[in-house]
């Protein structure tokens, strides 16, 4: 296999992994607080309702909020994927199913918003989201230590990972390590105005997740994303330096994150329906991350097109 072809396959795999990572975070933030609901209620019973609507607003703002002004209209973006200049034109899964997955994420978010009595009107989504964020900051101010403990506890339950490897904080200073240089102005602006961030760092001889965010749902989002990123590293450690740099330069772009979240949340939901329920999520995700790129992409395609075949393939891993 030529280096160029190998790089292309690895880039496509990493784009899909990023989509799963972002999808896991945006989907899990809708429900992660229910893993520790009793404890949150004991801390402040007003928080759960706020967290419900904040979590719903996070995906909706990409379609019906101020994020559209920065990133553009999602349906227009996905409708142009047939153009060879589109960033995902050469990605098999996104070129074929990106628009469908993104639309399903929108419909799921609208359904959840109606259930939680969150606003869905264009423009007003951002108004409510900003108000809820301010309200969350007010209520959390004197309870940060306990709420951080609960965010770590919930993430630990979800991923079956030791809480000792999760370092989290509720703060407005969300910078975590050095951010890879972004090739676009949009990416640099996203990074500059981030309300949450996460990363993996080496602490002595062990890799740990560091997550920071303004408010609890954002922190839960970053903890899930950081943990998924840690597990996904098993798919990167076999690359040589040239391949690794080519892949990371092409894929680690902050301006891709809205599109990864849009398609990824639905892909992650479908992924959860085909994995064995008797094995830890982190173990399954690790095996998926270690697959050779084309086999990995075949399973991802099957999750969308042939779920039973995908379930069988994942069970055999």
Secondary element (H or E) of residue 304: helix 293-305
pLDDT tier at 1 (50, 70, 90 boundaries)? low
pLDDT for 48-78, tens place per residue?
999 999 999 999 999 999 889 888 999 999 9
Average pLDDT over residues 25-41: 95
Q: Which of 74, 48, 51, 63 is nearest to 120 (CA)?
A: 63
User: What is the pLDDT at residue 204?
Assistant: 73
User: How crowded is residue 250: how many other Cβ atoms within 10 Å of its Cβ?
Assistant: 18
Better-scored residue on pLDDT, 6 or 176 = 176
Q: Kindly report whether the global pTM for this prediction surpasses the value 0.85.
A: yes
In this structure, of 21-30, 34-43, 186-195, 264-273, the range with the lowest mean pLDDT score is 186-195
| Overall number of domains in the chain | 1
Per cent of the chain over pLDDT 90 is 84
Evaluate whether 130 touches 98 at the Cβ level (below 8 Å).
Answer: no
Structure tokens at 78: 């996905």
In this structure, of 18-22, 81-85, 113-117, 238-242, the range with the lowest mean pLDDT score is 238-242
Task: Provide the residue range defining the domain that includes 281.
Answer: 3-315
User: What is the pLDDT at residue 2?
Assistant: 59
* Residue 117 DSSP code: T
Residue 253 pLDDT exceeds 60? yes
Antiparallel, parallel or unpaired: β 196-203 and 206-213: antiparallel
> Cα separation of 94 and 7, whole Å?
18
Rounded alpha-carbon distances, angstroms, from residue 135 to 128, 150, 200 = 10, 19, 30
pLDDT for 179-238, tens place per residue?
888 999 999 998 888 999 999 988 777 889 999 999 999 999 999 999 999 999 877 877
Structure tokens at 156: 């630990």
């Amino acid at each position: 296999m030529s280096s160029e072809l190998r790089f292309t396959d690895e880039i496509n795999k990493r784009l899909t992994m990023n989509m799963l990572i972002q999808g896991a975070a945006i989907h899990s933030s809708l429900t992660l607080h229910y893993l520790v609901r009793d404890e949150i209620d004991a801390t402040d019973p007003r928080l759960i309702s706020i967290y419900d609507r904040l979590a719903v607003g996070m995906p909706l703002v990409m379609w019906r909020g101020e994020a559209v002004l920065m990133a553009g209209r999602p349906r227009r973006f996905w409708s142009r994927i047939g153009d060879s200049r589109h960033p995902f034109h050469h990605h098999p899964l996104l070129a074929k199913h990106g628009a469908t997955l993104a639309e399903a994420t929108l419909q799921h978010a609208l359904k959840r918003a109606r259930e939680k009595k969150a606003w869905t009107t264009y423009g007003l989504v951002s108004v409510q989201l900003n108000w809820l964020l301010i309200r969350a900051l007010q209520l959390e101010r004197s309870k940060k230590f306990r709420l951080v403990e609960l965010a770590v506890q919930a993430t630990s339950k979800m991923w079956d990972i030791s809480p000792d490897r999760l370092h989290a904080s509720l703060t407005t200073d969300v910078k975590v390590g050095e951010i890879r240089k972004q090739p676009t102005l949009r990416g640099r602006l996203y990074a500059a105005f981030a309300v949450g961030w996460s990363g993996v760092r080496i602490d002595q001889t062990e890799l740990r997740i560091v997550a920071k965010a303004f408010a609890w749902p954002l922190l839960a989002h970053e903890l899930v994303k950081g943990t998924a990123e840690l597990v996904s590293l098993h798919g990167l450690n076999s690359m040589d330096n040239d391949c690794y740099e080519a892949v990371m330069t092409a894929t680690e772009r902050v301006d891709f994150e809205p599109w990864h979240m849009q398609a990824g949340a639905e892909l992650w939901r479908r992924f959860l329906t085909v994995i064995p329920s008797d094995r830890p999520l982190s173990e399954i995700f690790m095996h998926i991350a270690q697959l050779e790129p084309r086999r990995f992409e075949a399973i991802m395609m099957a999750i969308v097109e042939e779920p039973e075949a995908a379930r069988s393939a994942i069970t055999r891993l």
